Chain A
Amino acid sequence: MLKLGRHAFADDRPLVMAIVNRTPDSFYDKGATYAAGAALERVAQVVEEGADIVDIGGVKAGYGPDVDAAEEIRRVGTFVGQVRAAHPDLVISVDTWRSEVARVVCGEGADLLNDAWGGHDPALVDVAAEHAAALICTHTGGLAPRTDPHRQEYDDVVAAAIADTTAYAERALAAGVARESIVIDPAHDFGKNTFHSLELTRRLGELVATGWPVLVSLSNKDFVGETLGRPTGERLAGTLAATAVCALAGARIYRVHQVRETRDVVDMTWSIAGRRPPLHAIRGLA
């Protein structure tokens, strides 16, 4: 069983996490949902499209103007409460590395803390434990938040991702986060070049074999763009190909911009893998 805050999911169910950016400058949507009204509309839309989780972020992952904790709280704090009120059955995740932000959003009803920067703030696990929230433990290769990789190399990127994420998971467990509420994420592109991200995709089954539920965040990322020579707005097909490979390997959560397409690819692949029955089957069986 996977327990994300107030919500529990059986092990045979893959989950789609929709990205909702309360930022003016994120790479894909470029501020389209910075305003609270637009962001709430985005939440309603992704729920209708089949999202199980929304991942609300107040700070762009890449370089850009500084966003301090107070500004991040201003962007996401009360918004989480608004989403909680409007969608009581929805899992709310917040993409933050800061414990002070995490404490506020958990108070507003967040279920899940998506620490995209791999435990940079050591107190984050304590906030998750205090609020019975779930935690995503990512691998960034030791980079500080909002830093791009430069000449980063690994003896074995998959082994490094497994070592770091599982160590983080054990640290969370020791801090009091429930075992069924801890997820690991190899974090494609974070501290990695395109070859690293392709290898992580190809060998994702090794992360699944750790026994920790695995989240993949592939959506429209640079490794897809570089692999296919596609700009940001033309990476859906490549993203979905990588999604299918990760789904075949058994990834549990898919963090995405395009919910409907991802839902179909993940469900189809899980059915091919024999983990999910077809929705309907009568052809040749009547």
Chain B
Amino acid sequence: MIRDRTPLLIGVILVALLAGGAFLPQWAMFMVTIAIARGLVALGLMLLLRAGLVSFGQALYYCLGAYAAGALGRFFGISDIFAQMLAGAAAAGVAAFILGFLLAKYRGIFFGLLSLALSMILYGLLVKNEALGSTDGFNILPSTLFGIRPGPDWVRYAVLAAAAVVALLLALAVNRYLNTPLGRLAPAIKDNEIRVEYMGASARHAVHVMYVIAAVLAGVGGALAATTVGHIDPDMAFWTTSGEFIFITILAGTGSVVAPFAGALLYGVIHTTAYDLSPNTWQLSLGAALLLIIVFLPEGLWSLFPQRRWR
């Protein structure tokens, strides 16, 4: 058995973030936290991708997570960061459990289009919903940590630390999951679904479980993004948001649970730099980058590192 060095890597990153995070400038902490949030969504996408499924609507759960976290503050006055993440996870999980009964039956382009339609339904519902601010959305209460409200200079760090801990624990869990029978079933479903059925497994059931896991990850990511940005609006469910997540997943590749986070960080850097350089050409850079990666590096950037085939 090849020794899996991922837990070690995760541990190193966690320590680095917790220790070094306090010294980062505010904008850098913002970028890292957003990268963690987006990375979580991309991690979920990666799980689905391993089974051969591309969801064009993960923004649905990202948005649900954000609104759940926001609603906690707006209607219940709760602003604890862990409660927010939990709310995001729960809202996304329940929705995915229900929608999964439908979606798990589909593959390929129909899975993609149906997931897209569902996310746009949420968008449509939110845009017209006055109670939640319609197109303007609403602001979210600054997070508190175990009842303590950190001072304005420390809020970002507190969120970053909490995000890092939760995200990296989730990454660890996903890493462990990938070596279980269900985790290994994904490439089998992608490869030969008939064989899977003929060996006695329900591909639909397995996809349903994976779909819920991916949604929960996206929900936590959405809650994190909400509190980091400080604002929630329906655009979080728009199809272009889903497109960003797909871009990150392709950029990162499926080589490691750490890859989506690295991809998200890289995406954030590219986005900000390109936008600052020339606001009217950043989409062009993005599109060109996506094209180049698809054509020349279909396994994502992570495949540039020496690969230990992990299963």
Asked if A pairs with B, the answer is no
A→B interface (CB under 8 Å): none
Q: Which residues of B contact A (CB under 8 A)?
A: none
